Structure 1
Amino acid sequence: MKNSIIICVIFYFQSLNAQKIFGKIVNEQKASLTGVNVYFDGTTIGTITDFNGNFSLNYGSKLNAVLVVSSVGFQTEFITDKSNKTELYIVLYPVAQILKEVIVSRDGFSRQEKIKLFREQFLGTTTFGKKATIENEDDIYFEYNKKSNTLTAFSEKPLIINNNALGYTINYELLNFITHFYKLSIRSSDVKKSYYAGVSRFEETDNSSKTLKRRVNSYQGSQLQFFRTLAGNLWNKDNFLLFKGSFQANPKDFFTITDTLDLKKITVAKQIKGLDKMKFVAEFTLLYKKADQSRIIFETTNFYIDQFGNNSNSENILFSGKIIEQKVGDMLPLNYGIN
């Protein structure tokens, strides 16, 4: 499947009943750590620790995002099991200082070419994607495997992304980035599949009326809107429509939605004919506002969606077409539009 992309968001199934969580963060010697980032992945809900290493966060009772604790020089902690806890005591451990080996690459591609490919596959080539910038591109390093025709990107520090068009600065910890090519190439036109994963914190920098309108434009037809459409059964001609082959399909014939705590469990009906050899569960065409066409393939029979539109099993839900043009440069926080 050409030019497909998988975007992975860390997701867990723990229902949170409290609306406030607080705690203290220390190092191995039990000394308080100041200025540590504490945030819910993919949202604007975050803070930093004070001089005594203390923090507190208010959040909605149905938030199902991972709590990320991050500070330069320390291993990032991902807190998923907070059941019945409103107070946390977190110890951060230092990152082992390993001198990176400098390898003279003989793949024939320059760093400039790799950065260009990274921007296209990570930030995107839409209007907003092209305007977004990464402050610390020098912290990104690459490895190209000529045997598998894959480009991998790494960063030991969070990427600082300035998205002035949408009014956000994004602190993005890149956990994984790999692009597969059909042949020995560094061009986006030869991309077979691209995958990136990470955790992100959004900080609002502008909420003018023009910026808010641009956010609406970015949301329309996005994957975030699609998963909210699916979970809420909000299909209509001014939103997403589902097609099987050339014919419009009734989503109720293919998706069973079950309430599970604060999540929606989605069960996908397996389509046997024509897909068994490819190990797909189901595939559909999506049409947004009768214009933008995309394709979606499910490699899982079950996944979950929370009230924000955050979904599990991202690696098993593949998109292609119009909807994958939006990448990090068009990304909105998961709590966008949610009171």
Structure 2
Amino acid sequence: MKKNIVWLLALLPALAFSQPTFIVKGKIIDAVSKQPLSAASVFAENTTLGTATDGDGNFTLYLPHGGYNLVITFTGYQTETRRITSGDEGNNDVRVELKQKEKELQDVVVKSSSEVKDGWEKYGEFFLENFIGKTANSKACVIRNREVLHFYYYRRKNLLKILADAPVEIENNALGYSIKYTLDSFTHDYNSQVSVYTGYPLFKEMEASGDAQKVAWAGARQTAYNGSILHFMRSLYQRKLAEEGFEIQFLLKENDKERALTLRNFYAALNYKMDDSTHTVDILPNQKDVAILYKKETAPREYLEANAGAPDKFQLSVVNFLPGEAVDIERNGYYYEQNDITITGYWAWEKVADMLPYNYMDASLVKQEELPVSAPATVPAAGVKPLDPLTANWWKAEESRIIEGNNVSYYKRGQQGNTANLDNDLYKFNTDNTGTWSFNGQEYKFNWEYLGSDKTKMKITVQFPTPLIVNLENIVVTENRLSYTRLQQLNGVNLMAIETRTIR
């Protein structure tokens, strides 16, 4: 793609300033106990728009009109997804039940003899090239938590599989995004030389060092957008393919030879239909193999070096549609079912390093809570240092659901029938990273530290005769509420507790 684009922030398309939004509200609960899950992550896949559930498992999300894959994640639970669009009637009552992961199956995978101990050293570069990509943007991408990746090689199948036990944290310094990619799996079949990865990315705008970097990022994003599948889907939706530089051809096979059929009317050939009630476009091509040519830019040198024989005057991608299966397109470029099409050529070469969120061009204009959620900050008086709610208060247990091995116990302050008693369970975090845990009048000292700049994970070392390590994840702190997932081991048994605390 072109490198010499002059970009002025003031010239953003008018569309970006007029995007209406719709509201998605819902509740996340445990599938078995039906109890609400506090601090569960809820985000629109491949966007910068996300939030976390409150103490009652409720969430509210504001999204620009269009379609999205809503992703719900929570430590120790299976990831769930829901497809939502601005035309859905049930957007104010989205109820999702999360199932706990089968620990036995996890243990089998972790202990499998197929895991490669020095996996990153053997396959790290290969993974980067086939997941992050080989484009110019990929050279400016960094994975910040390589330790979460586990590599498995299955000799009989000649198959490489890569799993992650936490979201892969990617910093894209070329486009100015940090990405938390919840990776389901990455597989590479050495027999067919085909790589496939699935997962759920959540974008976050990086802070620019100044106006010059803002302009540079804006230009790089526009360059990545030009000719992309996101650009194509939006152009198709708006019936502006030719104006935006796209051409469609059908690929036909005759006597084992392939030839391209030029189309006079793109929209008739695709059986383009606009549904005015849902504001979605339905396409069902007359031929299953469709060539997409983007003619406003040439193929970059890196692509031509890796793909001998590829055309250099334009960017060529091929989309294979399942026979008889239509594809629906939303106004923001989201399309489904995405598994019903196979992409090869230029679009397949571009990977995570060149991805843009579905709310691109709207991210700076749509005010939206990001993970993790925190209370609105108050502005202190001049010269007064603002108080951190975490260290300014004693925190009493308000609610806890404790899973210890196969046993589950529950506590809610003031409620009858509790199977755990945390009436006198208090935490105090000090600014010098020390603290006190008070339980039934007995006090225990501890040290604490955040694990990462987003302050959603914490390590606590309780100073027993034998130090006890407690990990807190999914941390959400507001002025009067602290919620988290507590992970630790007691007598060799794994313990997980989903807890909420309030100010004493």
Q: Give the TM-score band, short-chain normalised.
A: 0.7 to 0.9
Change (3 A) 1:241 1:283: closer
Q: Quick check: 1:269–1:282 contact (8 Å CA) kept in 2?
A: no
Change (3 A) 1:150 1:229: farther
Q: Distance in 1 between matches of 2:154 and 2:280?
A: 40
Match of 1:335 in 2: 359
> 3-state DSSP class of the match of 1:84?
coil
> What letter corresponds to residue 129 of structure 1 in structure 2?
S
Q: Does 1:197 align with 2:198?
A: yes
> What letter corresponds to residue 130 of structure 1 in structure 2?
K
Provide TM-score, normalisation by structure 2.
0.54
> What letter corresponds to residue 255 of structure 1 in structure 2?
L
> What letter corresponds to residue 165 of structure 2 in structure 1?
E
Structure 2 gap ranges (5+):
1-19, 209-213, 251-258, 299-313, 366-504
Q: Quick check: 2:320–2:341 contact (8 Å CA) kept in 1?
A: yes
Q: Distance in 2 between matches of 1:93 and 1:318?
A: 31
Q: Distance in 1 between matches of 2:24 and 2:292?
A: 42
Match of 1:187 in 2: none
The CA deviation at 1:282 is: 2.2
Q: Does 1:319 align with 2:374?
A: no
Q: Distance in 2 between matches of 1:18 and 1:293?
A: 33
The CA deviation at 1:177 is: 2.2
Change (3 A) 1:197 1:107: closer
From the CA coordinates, give the structure whose radius of gyration is larger. 2
The CA deviation at 1:32 is: 5.0
Q: Distance in 2 between matches of 1:149 and 1:336?
A: 39
Match of 1:173 in 2: 182
The CA deviation at 1:306 is: 0.9
- Matches of residues 53-68 of structure 1 in structure 2 within 5 Å? 53-60=57-64, 62-68=65-71
Change (3 A) 1:169 1:304: same
Change (3 A) 1:285 1:307: closer
Q: Distance in 1 between matches of 2:35 and 2:336?
A: 36
Q: Distance in 2 between matches of 1:101 and 1:84?
A: 39
The CA deviation at 1:331 is: 0.7
Q: Distance in 2 between matches of 1:29 and 1:107?
A: 38
Encode CA deviations 1:151-210: one digit per residue, 9 max, x unaligned. 222223222222222122222212232223347xxxxxxx3x222222222121236221
Match of 2:279 in 1: 262
> What letter corresponds to residue 331 of structure 2 in structure 1?
Q
Structure 1 gap ranges (5+):
1-16, 184-190, 271-280
> What letter corresponds to residue 235 of structure 1 in structure 2?
L
The CA deviation at 1:269 is: 0.4
> What letter corresponds to residue 328 of structure 1 in structure 2?
V
Match of 2:319 in 1: 297
Match of 2:418 in 1: none
- Matches of residues 1-339 of structure 1 in structure 2 within 5 Å? 19-27=22-30, 32-60=36-64, 62-80=65-83, 83-97=89-103, 98-99=106-107, 100-105=109-114, 111-182=120-191, 191=193, 193-206=194-207, 208-236=214-242, 239-244=245-250, 245=259, 248-250=262-264, 251-260=266-275, 261-270=278-287, 281-289=288-296, 291=298, 292-300=314-322, 301=324, 302-338=326-362
Change (3 A) 1:209 1:80: same
Q: Distance in 1 between matches of 2:118 and 2:146?
A: 17
Instruction: Name the % identity.
Output: 26
Change (3 A) 1:168 1:110: closer
Query: Once superposed, what is the RMSD of the aligned Cα atoms?
Result: 3.1
Q: Distance in 1 between matches of 2:80 and 2:117?
A: 38
Q: Distance in 2 between matches of 1:94 and 1:194?
A: 29
The CA deviation at 1:246 is: 5.7
Q: Quick check: 1:255–1:267 contact (8 Å CA) kept in 2?
A: yes
Encode CA deviations 1:34-79: one digit per residue, 9 max, x unaligned. 432111122122112234543221223x432122221222222323
> 3-state DSSP class of the match of 1:157?
coil
The CA deviation at 1:30 is: 5.9
Q: Distance in 1 between matches of 2:228 and 2:23?
A: 30
Q: Distance in 1 between matches of 2:117 and 2:48?
A: 41
Q: Quick check: 1:145–1:151 contact (8 Å CA) kept in 2?
A: yes
Q: Distance in 1 between matches of 2:78 and 2:267?
A: 44
Q: Distance in 2 between matches of 1:238 and 1:32?
A: 47
